[in-house]
Every structure is written in structure tokens, then in C-alpha cells.
Amino acid sequence: MDHFFSQEDFGPLIEIAPGVRTRTLTRGQLMFSMVEIDDGCSSPIHSHPEVQMGIVLEGTFERHQGGEVRVLKKGEGFYVAPNVPHGGRAIGGTCRILDVFNPPRAKYAKVEQGK
């Protein structure tokens, strides 16, 4: 396993929904997901068994999670326990978010491994 990586090591682009895409990188039991959301586009409400944490790197994100709505700006983030419904949308421009999953999300890992 490589202990260092660069942007070129991330897997191919995965379209999550219209205007929402990610590229992932897995090392051990952790997965980075570099998400980009176009202005006004949404990541649909969904849930999964993996633990997730994310931080807004750029833009503004209206986060829906567990029945709560928050507007997050650069440097703000979220924690998602397993199976908690969540999603959101970019507002006022493109939004970039770095998500971390444990364990890696299997459906993204399959795409990453096929690169």
C-alpha cells in the first residue's frame, strides 16, 4: 500500500446525480470522496451503513441530515452515523466537499478499482 498519494491517484469521475460528481481514493479502512456540486444541484437524501464525515472546502452547502437543515460554509462540516438519512444542495455557486468514509463505500470502491 502506498503511504503517499496525489490527485492523480484518485479514481475516475463518478456521477452521483445530475450536477453532482465525485472521485474517490481508498487507503486501508478509509476512503476520501472529493465531491463537486454545481450551483442549485442536489445530492439526494440517502443513507448507508458506513460512517461519514465531511468538510466544505469551497462554496456553500445546504445540508439536510436526520430531519435537520443547516447551511454550511467553507471550513464547516458534518458527521454522519451509520444509516442516518442525509443529502443537500449547493447554493450560490459550485460547492466542493471532502468526505471521509469508514469503511470505504463498496459501490464507489468498485469504480475506483476499475480505473
Q: Which tens digits make up the pLDDT trace of 66-83?
A: 999 999 999 999 999 999
Contact status, residue 42 vs residue 87, Cβ threshold 8 Å: yes
Give the number of other CB atoms < 10 A from CB of residue 107.
Answer: 9
Classify domain 21-113 at the CATH superfamily level. Jelly Rolls (2.60.120.10)
pLDDT tens-digit series, residues 23-54: 999 999 999 999 999 999 999 999 999 999 99
Domain borders along the chain are 21-113
